[in-house]
């Protein structure tokens, strides 16, 4: 049988085919112990080389920080009853200190072992997985701060330290969130297979994000709910404070009497508790908004109405803030910012101290900005008019908001309108109209007394000092109380409003009206209404800066705006818990001191005693009363504050013992028989002009003029 001969070149093809299907002989491997056939010595050298790289050193440090933070957090919550003494006085047993050290070391070791195990498992296919997951978990480094920052007992006496700690916490969270976002992006494009559980969880989260992202009305409803909670909460507690005789003549009775006279046809801005039957408030403030409040007050007269109006309007400012942010940031981010405003601690103190017009201006200023964004000119003009009517200094804020609009460059015509109306109205009211009621003197210059040079007078003299003696001015600014005040204002927002230079323009009003003041503590305390000079601008700057980050920086770093917003949320929550009034009330201040929530049995008894005496006074009678009692009788034409004199009062309602100016005014009137005691209820008494003085001896020894 003849065997055909392959054609030329066929043998080479056959050999190549056979070689392709024939397994190649494996080279001899090192049979010594070790991974990948390498000896332990070779493997150790490779590992050391990897560990000493810059990237791996950073990963190891981050792992150690995560482990130590988790350990410290666990230990801190474990010794929570002793945390106050540990943080404030460094009192902790040595046994517990050793436990703290070993807990942190244990956390570091666990994190290193876990990362090492993950690296060994994925080193062949995905050698960077362990490092990426370490960066993904970077926000856990913030856990170390939580035991201290979630314990309100450590605030008292440690205010500056806690505020600095919150800022360090914010910086840590910001850096760690950015790191985590970057790692998440790199992990999302990784080709490595995932478990069925992880796939299901990821799909569930994506579905939820899509569902909630499509909700357009729900974010607004959450804002309305927040406004309702705020209004009810602060209305309830301020009315409760009024019930227990915790409000004052200066300022609740002043404003109540002014609105009563405005509604009942009295002289413009008549304010009898301020200084007698002819006293007017026109030289101190121009509050034409009193006539707007009068539309409600006519049907519901009394100081309680003012407290409710204040709480409602302060809370309602969250609504235009939401609309302002929605067009730039989306509905959910805007809702988050609105809630941050409601939780902002400096807002709470202003709402808890009697009644003031200044905080009412924010809602109308923000409404004007929102209508500018929505291109609703008529509603914008109406909001401007209402804002201008609130108080003369609200016009100064309007002018600076206009400057912000001009600098931002988006709504220059509206900015020019804001600046022109606000600047003109403030200048005319403050420097032309108001001095006519004070004999040519400018009101409240005493709040800047150290900046008025000898021989000078008025605000021009203050400006002369500021611009010609900056070293002295700087000395008045560098005070511990002012530093704490600035930190209390900016820390809840993580200083983010100052992310751009334009933020300092928004600080102009607050700087002049609060930080430049000298020897006038209320202006540098967050428990007074003056925080409005900051709040009105900082949240507008927050929206503007987040919008700027989203349109400029998010292109190079995805979701950086969300990272900033998350940091502000964390900082606000911590600060609101530490010294706010909604999440925790241990450190809440309102006015001149610690704010007391709730009622005690003796509060009801005092209220009953006072109102039994008030029931003996005709509704239209002129009356003089002690500081804490005037708000309960101020809804009439004439109600005087005892420490300023009794003038032509027919009745005197006073608390005993009586000291100071009140005692000096009252004792001669009772001793001479000008007033006779009508009735006594506990520590309170009612006297009437030309009434028999047979009971005067029962109270004279409790009235002192010292």
Contacts of 460 (CB under 8 A, 6+ apart): none
Residue 283 lies in a domain: no
Distance CA 476, CA 270 (A): 36
Distance CA 653, CA 689 (A): 12
Residue 92 lies in a domain: yes
Confidence class for position 133, pLDDT limits 50, 70, 90:
confident
Query: Average pLDDT for residues 54-72, to the nearest whole number?
Result: 86
196 or 81, greater pLDDT: 81
Residue 82 lies in a domain: yes
Residue matched to tokens 């988790």? 70
Q: For position 205, what pLDDT does the model report?
A: 63
Q: For position 29, what pLDDT does the model report?
A: 44
Tell me which of 104, 137, 154 is where a domain ends: 154
Distance CA 505, CA 540 (A): 12
* End-to-end C-alpha distance for the chain, whole angstroms: 143
- Cβ neighbours around 638 below 10 Å, total: 24
Closest by CA position to 686, among listed 597, 634, 626:
626
State yes or no: pLDDT of 495 exceeds 70.
Answer: yes
Name the 3-class secondary structure at 624.
strand
Distance CA 348, CA 491 (A): 15
State yes or no: pLDDT of 10 exceeds 60.
Answer: no
For the CA atoms of the chain, what is the radius of gyration? 35
The string of DSSP letters for 481-518 reads: HHHHHHHHHHGGGTTGGGSSTHHHHHTHHHIIIIIT--
Confidence class for position 18, pLDDT limits 50, 70, 90:
very low
Confidence class for position 602, pLDDT limits 50, 70, 90:
very high
Name the 3-class secondary structure at 289.
coil
Distance CA 254, CA 635 (A): 10
Report residue 42 as tokens: 């070779």
Distance CA 269, CA 304 (A): 20
Closest by CA position to 575, among listed 173, 149, 230:
149
- Cβ neighbours around 441 below 10 Å, total: 12
Q: For position 16, what pLDDT does the model report?
A: 45
Confidence class for position 14, pLDDT limits 50, 70, 90:
very low
Residue matched to tokens 């939820």? 208
The string of DSSP letters for 223-286 reads: HHHHHHHHHHHHHHHHHHHHHTT---IIIIIHHHHHHHHHHTT-STTB-HHHHSTT-BSTTT--
Residue 212: strand pairing partners: none
Tell me what percent of the residues of the chain surpass a pLDDT of 90: 74
Residue 465 lies in a domain: no
690-702 per-position pLDDT tens digit: 999 999 999 999 9
Tell me which of 109, 127, 154 is where a domain ends: 154
State yes or no: pLDDT of 80 exceeds 50.
Answer: yes
533-582 per-position pLDDT tens digit: 999 999 999 999 999 999 887 666 668 899 999 999 999 999 999 999 99
Report residue 349 as tokens: 């103190």
Residue 134 lies in a domain: yes
Q: What is the number of residues in the chain? A: 706
> In the sheet where 639-641 sits, what is the strand order?
639-641, 623-625, 651-655, 684-689, 675-681
Confidence class for position 35, pLDDT limits 50, 70, 90:
very low
Q: For position 332, what pLDDT does the model report?
A: 93
Using H for helix, E for strand and C for coil, what is the string for 405-441?
A: HHHHCCCHHHHHHHHHHHHHHHHHHHHHHHHHHCCCC
Q: Which of 138-142, 228-232, 607-611, 612-616 has the lowest mean pLDDT?
A: 138-142
Q: For position 181, what pLDDT does the model report?
A: 84
Tell me if 190 sits within 8 A of 129, measured CB to CB. yes
Residue 73 lies in a domain: yes
Confidence class for position 421, pLDDT limits 50, 70, 90:
very high
260-319 per-position pLDDT tens digit: 999 999 999 999 999 999 999 999 999 999 999 999 999 999 999 999 999 999 999 999
Contacts of 117 (CB under 8 A, 6+ apart): none
- Cβ neighbours around 45 below 10 Å, total: 12
For the chain, the domain total comes to 2
**DSSP H helical ranges for 79-217:** 80-89, 94-122, 129-136, 146-149, 159-188, 196-214
State yes or no: pLDDT of 121 exceeds 50.
Answer: yes
Distance CA 141, CA 381 (A): 49
Residue 94 lies in a domain: yes
Tell me if 362 sits within 8 A of 532, measured CB to CB. yes
Distance CA 124, CA 103 (A): 33
Q: For position 22, what pLDDT does the model report?
A: 45
Q: What's the CA dihedral at 542, 545, 551, 557 to 10 degrees?
A: -100
Distance CA 237, CA 243 (A): 10
Confidence class for position 59, pLDDT limits 50, 70, 90:
confident
Residue 259 lies in a domain: no
The string of DSSP letters for 177-226 reads: HHHHHHHHHHHHT------HHHHHHHHHHHHHHHHHHH-SSHHHHHHHHH
Return the axis-axis angle of helices 532-548 and 345-352, rounded to nearest 10°: 150
- Average pLDDT, rounded, for the chain: 89
Tell me if 80 sits within 8 A of 151, measured CB to CB. yes
Q: For position 135, what pLDDT does the model report?
A: 87
The string of DSSP letters for 302-355 reads: SHHHHHHHHHHHHHHTHHHHHHHHHHHH-HHHHHHHHHHHHH-HHHHHHHHSS-
Tell me if 273 sits within 8 A of 253, measured CB to CB. yes
Q: For position 49, what pLDDT does the model report?
A: 60
Contacts of 36 (CB under 8 A, 6+ apart): 43
151-164 per-position pLDDT tens digit: 999 888 889 999 99
Range of the domain at 673: 601-700
Tell me if 654 sits within 8 A of 662, measured CB to CB. yes
Tell me which of 120, 154, 188 is where a domain ends: 154
Buried b / exposed e over 59-84, threshold 16 CB at 10 Å, is bbebbbbbbbbbbbbebbeebeeebb
Q: Which of 31-40, 177-186, 403-412, 620-629 has the lowest mean pLDDT?
A: 31-40
Q: Which of 122-126, 153-157, 326-330, 386-390 has the lowest mean pLDDT?
A: 122-126
Contacts of 376 (CB under 8 A, 6+ apart): none
Tell me if 220 sits within 8 A of 157, measured CB to CB. no
State yes or no: pLDDT of 383 exceeds 80.
Answer: yes
Q: Which of 26-35, 162-171, 328-337, 686-695 has the lowest mean pLDDT?
A: 26-35
Name the 3-class secondary structure at 38.
coil
Residue 685: strand pairing partners: 654, 680
State yes or no: pLDDT of 138 exceeds 70.
Answer: yes
């Amino acid at each position: 049988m003849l065997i055909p001969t392959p054609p030329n070149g066929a043998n080479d093809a056959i050999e190549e085919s056979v070689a392709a299907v024939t397994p190649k002989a494996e080279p001899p491997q090192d049979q010594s112990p070790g991974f990948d056939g390498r000896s332990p010595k070779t493997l150790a050298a490779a590992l050391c080389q990897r560990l000493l790289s810059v990237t791996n050193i950073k990963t190891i440090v981050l792992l150690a920080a995560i482990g130590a933070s988790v350990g410290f957090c666990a230990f801190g919550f474990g010794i929570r009853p002793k945390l106050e003494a540990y943080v404030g006085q460094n009192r902790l047993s040595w046994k517990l200190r050793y436990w703290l050290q070993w807990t942190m070391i244990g956390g570091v070791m666990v994190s290193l072992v876990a990362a090492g195990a993950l690296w060994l498992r994925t080193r062949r296919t995905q050698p960077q997985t362990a490092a990426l997951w370490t960066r993904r978990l970077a926000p856990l480094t913030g856990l170390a701060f939580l035991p201290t920052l979630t314990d309100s007992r450590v605030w008292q006496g440690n205010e500056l330290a806690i505020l600095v700690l919150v800022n360090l916490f914010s910086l840590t969270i910001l850096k760690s969130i950015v790191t985590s976002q970057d790692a998440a992006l790199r992990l999302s494009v990784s080709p490595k297979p995932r478990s069925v559980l992880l796939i299901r969880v990821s799909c569930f989260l994506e579905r939820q994000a899509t569902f909630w992202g499509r909700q357009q009305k729900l974010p607004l409803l959450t804002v309305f709910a927040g406004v309702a909670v705020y209004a009810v909460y602060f209305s309830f507690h301020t009315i409760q404070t009024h019930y227990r005789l915790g409000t004052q003549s200066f300022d609740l009775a002043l404003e109540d009497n002014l609105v009563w006279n405005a509604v009942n046809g009295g002289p413009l801005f008549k304010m009898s508790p301020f200084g007698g039957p002819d006293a007017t408030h026109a030289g101190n403030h121009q509050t034409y908004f009193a006539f707007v409040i009068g539309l409600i007050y006519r049907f519901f007269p009394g100081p309680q109405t003012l407290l409710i109006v204040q709480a409602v309007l302060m809370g309602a400012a969250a609504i235009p803030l939401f609309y302002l942010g929605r067009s730039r940031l989306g509905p959910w981010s805007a809702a988050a910012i609105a809630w941050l405003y409601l939780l902002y601690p400096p807002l709470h103190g202003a709402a808890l101290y009697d009644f003031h017009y200044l905080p009412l201006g924010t809602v109308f200023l923000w409404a004007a900005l929102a209508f500018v964004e929505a291109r609703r000119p008529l509603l914008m003009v109406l909001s401007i008019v209402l804002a201008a009517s609130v108080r003369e200094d609200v016009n100064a804020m309007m002018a600076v908001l206009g400057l912000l609009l001009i600098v931002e460059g988006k709504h220059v015509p509206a900015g020019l309108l804001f600046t022109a109306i606000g600047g003109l109205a403030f200048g005319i009211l403050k420097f032309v109209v108001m001095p006519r009621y004070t004999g040519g003197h400018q009101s409240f210059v005493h709040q800047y007394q150290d900046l008025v040079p000898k021989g000078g007078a008025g605000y021009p003299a203050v400006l002369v000092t500021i611009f010609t003696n900056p070293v002295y001015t700087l000395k008045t600014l560098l005070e511990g109380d002012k530093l704490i005040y600035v930190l209390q204002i900016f820390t809840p927002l993580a200083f983010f409003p100052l992310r751009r230079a334009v933020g300092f323009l928004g600080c102009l009003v607050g700087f002049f009206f609060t930080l430049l003041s000298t020897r006038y503590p209320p202006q540098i305390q967050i428990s007074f209404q003056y925080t409005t000079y900051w709040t009105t601008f900082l949240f507008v700057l927050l929206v503007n800066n987040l919008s700027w980050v989203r349109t400029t920086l998010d292109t190079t770093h995805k979701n950086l705006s969300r990272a900033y917003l998350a940091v502000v949320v964390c900082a606000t929550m911590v600060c609101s818990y530490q010294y706010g009034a909604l999440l925790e009330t241990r450190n809440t201040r309102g006015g001149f001191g610690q704010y007391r929530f709730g009622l005690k049995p003796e509060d009801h008894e005092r209220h009953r005693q006072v109102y039994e005496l008030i029931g003996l006074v005709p509704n239209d009678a002129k009356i003089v009363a002690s500081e804490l009692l005037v708000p309960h009788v101020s809804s009439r034409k004439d109600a005087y504050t005892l420490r300023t004199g009794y003038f032509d009062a027919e009745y005197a309602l006073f608390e005993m013992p009586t000291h100071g100016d009140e005692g000096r005014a009252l004792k001669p009137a009772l001793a001479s028989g000008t007033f006779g005691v009508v009735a006594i209820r506990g520590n309170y008494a009612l006297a009437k002009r030309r009434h028999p003085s047979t009971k005067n001896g029962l109270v004279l020894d409790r009235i002192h003029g010292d």
